Structure formats: structure tokens, C-alpha cells
Structure 1
Amino acid sequence: MDEPFPFPDVPAVPPSPAPPPLGGGRDGAGPDVRGGRAPTEKLPLGGMGLPLILFVLSVWFWHSPLVYPIKILTVFFHELSHGLAAVATGGRMHAIELTADQGGLCWTAGGITWIILSAGYLGSLLWGSGLLWLAAKTRWDREIVQGLGLLLIGVTAVYVRTWFGLAFGLGFGLALLALARHFGAVVCDQFLRYIGLTSSFYVILDIKSDLIDRSIPQSDAFRLGEMIHLPGWVVGVGWMVVAIWLTVRVLESTMTSDPGSRV
């Protein structure tokens, strides 16, 4: 921006500050503070008030099309976690499939089987809880949204092999980049908390539906149960206990977060 240039022998009058553009900050996209600092500590419940309200509405309208993208995102996290677990234990990830009925499949080779099987539900839980925790504990909300968008686009381009999965991954990834570009840090913070909370809840609901209420021979819990000689529902109960415990702990941490401790 050009600096004001006073004419000779004429006292310079400092210009009046221009009103911030709608949305404020960099490029009209939120508070212009390094690291995406946003006054979320002024919001109810340490910034968790609106995400909790949206979460309750999502549960009430659970079959609404508005909640559908979050469900598919959680399935994406589930399958990606299988693949990452395979790679981390010496195997390979070949492809990811996503379907419109909220189904998914990750094709892997090698690796440690029991870790790969456990990584699906627990991994997607870590993704949701991690997003919630990062939104509450850091000031890099816009950067995190951008990173998530790039991750979706990159993984989709390399590994996803279904037309629905390609459309969702690329579309949702671009939407996240647009969100970070055109909205401020407060909006990104609240969005991250909402999808983190809703994704964590969906994991718990999915475990109950797929692994406890009914036994599916192809499910992760059933296959792991066969390996360790336990019923699949026992494995599901164990995963659910871990999921509920972690979700509650992260939620407590975000609601009692000290604003000055955000980095």
C-alpha cells in the first residue's frame, strides 16, 4: 500500500484509518493478525458455544443433506487411516474407494494386520479429535483449513478410484481452500471445531451400528476378533470405550482452554 506523501511546507495530516472490508483482515478474509489469531476466547464456552449448537442441530437432523458431507469426510478419514497404518508398518496403500452410501474401502498390501484393522475407526476418531483440539489450542485456524483442503485434494488425486470419491474429495477440498481464502480465522476456527466434534460423534455412532448392534463378517472388528479369538462385538465395545473417553477428554480440554495458552 502506498505511504501518504506530504507536500513541502505543508503539515502532514495522518490519514483516517480505512474501515475494514466485510470479513476484515487479509484480502477481506478475517482478522489480519499473524498466525490467524482470532478473538474466539470472547465467544461462549471458550469458543465451543456455536459448534455445540450446530452439533446438536446436526444430531437432530442427522439424515439431512447438510450433514452428509461430514459423514463422507469421516469415511475418508477412516479409509485414509487404514492406508497410513499400512505404510507406517512397512506396507503399501494402493487405492481408496468411497461410495455414496457412506461406504468405503482401502486397498493395502503388507504391514501389520491388527494395527491396520484398528486404525480405521480409531484413526478417524483421532482425525476428528485432532481437528477439534488444534482449533482450540492453536491460532492457525485458516492454515489448518488450507492444509486439510490440500490433503483432501492430494490424496484424492493419487489414491481415490471411484467417481463419487473423486467428486467429493476434489469438491470438498476446493471448498475448504475457498473457506480459508474468503473467510476469517474466527469462521475457520468454528468450522474446524464443528467438523471435529461431529466427526468424533459419527465414529462413536458408526462403531455402535456396525460392530455392536450387528455383526458384519467383513467389518474391521469381526476380522480383528477372529485374529485374537474374541467376538467382534467385544472388539467394538473396546473401541467404543476408547472413542468415548478420548472425545470427552478433548471436549473438556477445549471448553476449559486458557485463551493465553494458544500458540
Structure 2
Amino acid sequence: MPPYVDGFPVQDHNFAVFARDAKESLTPNSTQRTTLIVAGVYIIAIFILWHMPYLSVIIYPFKLLTVGFHEMSHAFAGVLTCAHIHSIELDPDEGGATRMSGGIPWITLPAGYLGSGLIGAALIACGFDTNASKIASLVLAAFFLFTLWWARRNWLTWVLILGMSGLIVLFWFVAGGVALRYFVLFIGVMSDMYVLWDVVDDTIARKVNGSDASAFAEICGCCPSQVWGVLWLIIAFAFFAAGVVVGLAAFKESSAQQAEDAKHFLPVPGSSGAMQLLPANLPSMALCAAATIAVLLPRWRLV
């Protein structure tokens, strides 16, 4: 007979402990509930503004930023598959293009949708914690530098990145970095929502002959672009959900604890804090940072 613990067989007991721990990890505390509510407000606001003829200008820069994530994901996938990246371009009509030669198309083509979705998920997870948002901002800064290198002749990209960099610096100084946390959360939500909408619009609702899905379908030759669109949509939803789950499980500190940690980790210049103590949630932050860096900063070579 199997051994028993607390009246349950060992195997059932282990499963019960795992289920209990998982429930405790994913049950939001008051700070996390606030973050989830804010994320829900973001989703509703973005959805409304997206379809308003004049008010849509409010989120227009962030749409371009997510297009930048899309194109840079193409470029990074190209670098990883030994492609030569010629240029990245953004245009005022919320479109973009990554010009490359070589590489592996069946990797580089879906990388636009899936890569920007993964970036959004990583930012959503980091948006649950102030110090993690600081790290995500530094990674974004490196991402912006790579973007400027490949898009150095595109004036719109320069304006967009300089504007976003200014907002990041501004929000870093507000309320000890709390505003930065909600800004990173907004960018993550915006990126994932744009991926979902773009996949549906380009491949499911209507077939766009110049879309990544249609080009991928031509290469594979086995399924129409709508099939790939549905598959990428499911993956994008999974990324979105994973970002929330990681945020809930990794960052359980209260607002007061986050504020105290933020005083000692990359504090605002002139504040009394200094980087003398490592934050209490450093392992979780390191995990989030590693995930973000893995997405945004793969091996890179000059072109």
C-alpha cells in the first residue's frame, strides 16, 4: 500500500500541495488587483479610442510603437538566422517594412506578430512591479538604440523614439517610479492588443495579399493564410495570458514594499535612496529581465 500523509496517498497529497501553492501564487493581492483593474481600463479605453475618428490620435504614437516592435521582431529573427538587415521603416499610415536578404523566411515571417506579442507579454509582467518596470525601461532604451541604427534614415522613427524616451524619463520621476510602472503596463497591453487586432484584420476578417500570413502560406503551401492567422491568434492570446500569470506569480509585493524597494534601486537623482540594498524581489525581477532581454536583445551584428 502507498504511504499516506494527512490521510491522503502521497501522490494525491503532492498534487493537493501543488494545487494549493498554485492557487496562492495566482490569487491577486490588493496591489495586484489594482494593476488588473488598470489593465482592464486600458483595454476598454484602447478599444474605444481605436475606433473613434478623431480621438484615435491619442493612441496614434503607441500604434506606431507597436508597429516598431513588429518590425524589430522581424529584424532580430533575421539576425538570428544570418540575414542581412538593410533597413527598417515606419510610415504615417501605421505601416512598416523590414528589408532584409537571406535568413529563414518561415522563422522571420511569423516573428513580427509573435515577437511583438511576446514583447507585450513581458512588459505586462514587468508592469506589476516598479523595479521590474525600471529594468524593462532600460531594455527598451537598448531596443530603441538598435531601432535607430536600422531606421536611421526614417524621420518618423526618430520622432517616435525620442518622444517615447522622453515619456519614460518623465514617468521615472513621478511618484517614485509608480507612473513608470503603469506606463510600461500600458505599452504591454497596447502591444498585445495591436497584435490581436492586426492578425484578425489581416488574415481572418479579410485576406491581405501583402500580409506576413499570406507570404507564409505561399512558402508552406499547405494551408491558407486564415489558418495561420488563427494559429498565430491563439499563440498571441496565450502570450497575453502568460504575461498576466507571470506578473501575478512573480510580484507579490504591496505598493508600500515596492515603493521602499524603488528607493534603493536606480532611485530618482536627488532622492535620499541609493542602490545600497538589493530589492527583496530580485530573483523575480531577474527572471522578468531575462525574459525581456531574451525577447529584445538577441545576438546582434552590425550591418
Shift of 1:93: 1.5
Q: Which has the higher helix share?
A: 2
**Residues 41 and 66 of structure 1, relative CA distance in 2, 3 Å threshold:** farther
**Contact kept? 2:66, 2:190, Cα under 8 Å:** no
Which of the residues 120, 126, 141 maps onto 1:128? Answer: 120
Q: Deviations over 1:92-130 (max 9, x none)?
A: 222100011110000111111110001010011011111
CA distance in structure 2 between the aligned counterparts of 1:137 and 1:173, rounded to whole angstroms: 20
Which of the residues 196, 214, 223 maps onto 1:222? Answer: 214
Superposed, 1:1-263 pairs within 5 Å as 42-43=30-31, 45=33, 47-62=35-50, 63=52, 64-136=56-128, 139-152=131-144, 154-160=145-151, 161-181=153-173, 184-229=176-221, 230-255=223-248, 259-260=252-253, 262-263=284-285
- Radius of gyration: which is bigger? 1
**Residues 72 and 88 of structure 1, relative CA distance in 2, 3 Å threshold:** same
**Contact kept? 2:86, 2:99, Cα under 8 Å:** yes
In the alignment, structure 1 segments of 5+ residues that lack a partner are: 1-39
Shift of 1:145: 1.8
**Residues 110 and 181 of structure 1, relative CA distance in 2, 3 Å threshold:** farther
CA distance in structure 2 between the aligned counterparts of 1:259 and 1:196, rounded to whole angstroms: 19
**Contact kept? 1:82, 1:106, Cα under 8 Å:** yes
CA distance in structure 2 between the aligned counterparts of 1:128 and 1:197, rounded to whole angstroms: 6
Q: Percent identity?
A: 30
Shift of 1:177: 2.9
Q: Deviations over 1:150-187 (max 9, x none)?
A: 432x1343111322222212222233233324552221
Structure 2 equivalent of residue 33 of structure 1: none
Runs of 4+ deviating beyond 6 Å: none
CA distance in structure 2 between the aligned counterparts of 1:98 and 1:258, rounded to whole angstroms: 35
**Residues 145 and 254 of structure 1, relative CA distance in 2, 3 Å threshold:** same
Query: Which residue identity is paired with 1:99?
Result: D
Say how many residue pairs are matched: 223
Q: Deviations over 1:130-162 (max 9, x none)?
A: 11112336733223224313432x134311132
CA distance in structure 2 between the aligned counterparts of 1:77 and 1:224, rounded to whole angstroms: 19
Shift of 1:47: 2.5
CA distance in structure 2 between the aligned counterparts of 1:41 and 1:144, rounded to whole angstroms: 23
Q: What TM-score comes out, normalization by structure 2 length?
A: 0.67
| More moved, 199-208 vs 159-168 | 159-168
Other structure's SS at 1:65 match: helix
Q: What TM-score comes out, normalization by structure 1 length?
A: 0.77
CA distance in structure 1 between the aligned counterparts of 2:248 and 2:71, rounded to whole angstroms: 30
Other structure's SS at 1:96 match: strand
